[in-house]
Structure 1
Amino acid sequence: MSFRSLIQEMRDEFGSISRHNLRSRSHRAGGGHAPRVAAVGPVEAAAAQQQQQQSCWAQLPPELLREVLVRIEESEGWWPSRRDVVACAGVCRSWRGITKEIVHVPEASGKLTFPISLKQPGPRDGTLKCFIRRNRATQTYYLYLGLTEALADDGKFLLAARKCRKPTCTDYLISLDMSDMSKGSNTYIGKLRSNFLGTKFTVYDAHPPYDGAVVSKSRSARVIGLNQVSPRVPAGNYPVSHISYELNVLGARGPRRMNCIMDSIPASAVEEGGKAPTQTEFPLSGLDSFPSISFFRSKSARIDSATSQISAQKEEKLVLRNKSPRWHEQLQCWCLNFRGRVTVASVKNFQLVASDENGPTNQEQDKVILQFGKIGKDLFTMDYRYPISAFQSFAICLSSFDTKIACE
């Protein structure tokens, strides 16, 4: 019997026992006469039923409950089966509280479980292998987590972006929902903005990446038509990275040259024992009203976050540069070793490593932190690791899609 079937069976059993007890109590209270029933609407009835079910689940012994949840978390290591862990967190408060403690951040576990994981740094040991699908007709881009060793499969949806052209710049709005990528949505988490030439980009986070982060452009209210509407949590513009492509004024054809300044990550994050800021939860918003979409943090994450947030404000910023390709005489093209993850030559392909300007060259700086490459007409791979997150990686890769008038 699967875990989901077991949960449903236990829920039905608890519900039947509770209904039987309610009927018995009402019969005794009414002395055999029909009890008085207050008229309630469907919303009140649903809330009462949910509260009743949660009270049943909350009566389980904490030690037994923790042991069950720990085993589920360990056994469901990858998607799609990992959705059972998210389902457990949405049962009731007691289940949610224990799940907060046993689910680790991607840095330690190498797993993406909850939406907040997309804002947290990737694993230190190894990379998370993702891919991007492009829809040319709608100018949209979708990020998926690879579920197999194949270059592309059905994947687990992570993020979506929509390209918005403006007279002086181009915006890529990034959302947790592939069907709603508007800036006014509760699922909006950030954007990428380019300059007119498409050579410089800024990645903005809709939420503070660390304590004390300065918002670039803040509006306490949105104007819709003639009415002023104050959102519950205004989406801010917190710059987290700046991407620049070197100008090609002479017109010489060759690989692109790009630099990424990570405003929210200190340069020491790539060193042994270095720390990068870790967002532990989203601000309260409409997303929190759904019990199946929860944003959690562990005790260790709180401690690491406090340390990294202070260091990010004082230390030098991390700078990433693209790894220089080598010229292949037989193929007559520039080549990089993508270890089989890229199959189509393209000017968009790149690998990012820590810049030598951060200090002396060492083994840690030779590690590829982000690589992006083409494998089909509208299909690209994206692999990233610590200290950048899936959101930051996706935004950097989106900059490669934009037209660059002065670079090519």
Structure 2
Amino acid sequence: MEGVSSNRSMSYSRWSYDSTLDDEGSNLRQQKLDRQRALLEQKQKKKRQEPLMVQSNVDGRSRARRTKQCEEQAPLVESYLSSNRSTIYHGISSSMNFDEEEDDEDEVSSSSSQLNSNTRPGSATSKKSCKEAASASTPPVSEPAIDVDDLEEFTLRPAPQGITVKCRITRDKKGMDRGMYPTYYLHLEREDGKKVFLLAGRKRKKSKTSNYLISIDPTDLSRGGESFIGKLRSNLMGTKFTVYDSGQNPGKTTSSLEATILRQELAAVCYETNVLGFKGPRKMSVIIPGMNMDHERVAICPRNDHESLLARWQNKSTESVIELHNKTPVWNDDTQSYVLNFHGRVTQASVKNFQIIHDNDPDYIVMQFGRVAEDVFTMDYNYPMCALQAFAIALSSFDSKLACE
């Protein structure tokens, strides 16, 4: 019995010794991961201080404090409420109609008067537009009527004309040490300071190209889930992206019934490749479906690659599509950096910061995106863009593109 007891004690002591080694090994691994994470954060922080990052125009903000009359420095949401901005606003609306028909005389005459921030077009943008137009005529200016009751319908609906939809994106890195990708959450920022969840997105594992799933449920990011609303997919180089809704892939449809619910292409993003290795702000083109005379998005459901948004843009077949570009940052000699005026909505320098405009009206910001904290970004969009389009475009900016960095 003593021999057996001795063997048991020896086995127990050996097990204790082995478990101690395992604990020490796991502690060492954790310390190593912590050190690597700290070094990475220091590197990213140092990188954001480089002059080639796009920074918010600090001088612009100080000038705005000195003179409130300066139109250039007006807050983004009010920048087109004066009479001349109202004219520009109607101009870009008409330029985005693929029918290329002139506006009615009533619309032209109304552009000379001040555009209230709650004004909406009389034509339908959704099934709820008539009801919304009626309810939007009386609310105070400080509380734009943005209906988010039907989340799926809202995220696909173009922003109301005359209202900038202000949002915030937060990046959750939990699980990255286990090989998982970050999760991105989009929230609507209300005037009362409250935030309303809109969308969540995450990159899929084991995919040959970057493939982000987008959902209206923050806890269900599966492809087969009922909350799946769209996806963002890149090419092999990671420089061209396409945004789809939740419809069927034409290459996988097996019946005529499925063919009636083919997926729509909602946007395409093309980052200019950096062949010469020049470091500086990114250059991007954004192609979205055009709007018809009823201010409804044109449905683009390509059955093959030749009918896609990217193919139309590359072949200069731009009928029924809108081509947008990022606004070129200006070099500031005083700060020795590239700057853009984000009107206080962006506070940290980043190569990811951008503003999207139409060439016909560079003062009308269709969308802007930029960093305000380590894992917090603001995202604002205007007509004719919708939340899903803007969020997917922002997700493309997070992706690592070796060919254009």
TM-score between both structures, scaled by the size of structure 2: 0.55
Q: What is the one-letter code of the residue matched to 1:158?
A: L
Find 1:250's aligned residue among 276, 301, 306.
Answer: 276
Q: How many Å separate the matches in 2 of 1:320 and 1:196? A: 23
* Superposed counterparts of 1:320-331, under 5 Å: 320-331=324-335
Residue deviations 1:175-226 (CA, integer Å, cap 9, x gap): 0100001110111110000122211101011149xxxxxx5444459xxxxx
Q: How many Å separate the matches in 2 of 1:148 and 1:164? A: 34
Q: How many Å separate the matches in 1 of 2:242 and 2:354? A: 18
> How far off is 1:99 after superposition?
8.5
> How far off is 1:317 after superposition?
1.0
Q: Does 1:198 align with 2:200?
A: no
1:370 maps to what in 2?
367
Residue deviations 1:334-375 (CA, integer Å, cap 9, x gap): 100000000000000000001x3xxxx3xx453000000000
* Superposed counterparts of 1:5-404, under 5 Å: 102-104=131-133, 110-113=145-148, 114-115=150-151, 116-138=153-175, 139-148=182-191, 155-207=195-247, 216-219=250-253, 236-262=262-288, 264-266=289-291, 275-277=295-297, 315-354=319-358, 356=359, 361=360, 364=361, 366-404=363-401
Q: How many Å separate the matches in 2 of 1:169 and 1:105? A: 45
Residue deviations 1:288-310 (CA, integer Å, cap 9, x gap): xxxxxxxxxxxxxxxxxxxxxxx
Residues 390 and 99 of structure 1, relative CA distance in 2, 3 Å threshold: closer
Q: What is the one-letter code of the residue matched to 1:382?
A: M
- Verify the 8 A CA contact 1:120 1:278 in the aligned structure 2: no
1:406 is paired with a residue whose SS is: helix
- Verify the 8 A CA contact 1:372 1:383 in the aligned structure 2: yes
- Verify the 8 A CA contact 2:184 2:201 in the aligned structure 1: yes
> How far off is 1:277 after superposition?
1.7
Over the matched positions of the two proteins, sequence identity in percent amounts to 41
Find 2:403's aligned residue among 398, 402, 406.
Answer: 406
Q: How many Å separate the matches in 2 of 1:106 and 1:276? A: 20
Q: How many Å separate the matches in 2 of 1:365 and 1:99? A: 31
Q: What is the one-letter code of the residue matched to 2:202?
A: R
> How far off is 1:233 after superposition?
12
Residues 161 and 104 of structure 1, relative CA distance in 2, 3 Å threshold: farther
Residues 314 and 343 of structure 1, relative CA distance in 2, 3 Å threshold: closer
Residues 233 and 217 of structure 1, relative CA distance in 2, 3 Å threshold: closer
C-alpha RMSD of matched pairs (Å): 3.4
- Verify the 8 A CA contact 1:106 1:120 in the aligned structure 2: no
Q: How many Å separate the matches in 2 of 1:322 and 1:274? A: 27
Q: How many Å separate the matches in 1 of 2:352 and 2:200? A: 19
- Verify the 8 A CA contact 1:217 1:237 in the aligned structure 2: no
Structure 1 moving runs of 4+ over 2 Å: 98-110, 165-168, 215-221, 231-238, 273-276, 313-316
Residues 384 and 233 of structure 1, relative CA distance in 2, 3 Å threshold: same
- Verify the 8 A CA contact 2:253 2:259 in the aligned structure 1: no
Greater relative CO, 1 or 2 (CA 8 Å, sep 6+): 2
1:58 maps to what in 2?
none
Residues 248 and 405 of structure 1, relative CA distance in 2, 3 Å threshold: same
> How far off is 1:148 after superposition?
3.6
Q: What is the one-letter code of the residue matched to 2:394?
A: C
Equivalent pairs, count: 248
Residues 233 and 366 of structure 1, relative CA distance in 2, 3 Å threshold: same
- Verify the 8 A CA contact 1:327 1:333 in the aligned structure 2: yes
Residues 106 and 170 of structure 1, relative CA distance in 2, 3 Å threshold: farther
Residues 107 and 174 of structure 1, relative CA distance in 2, 3 Å threshold: farther
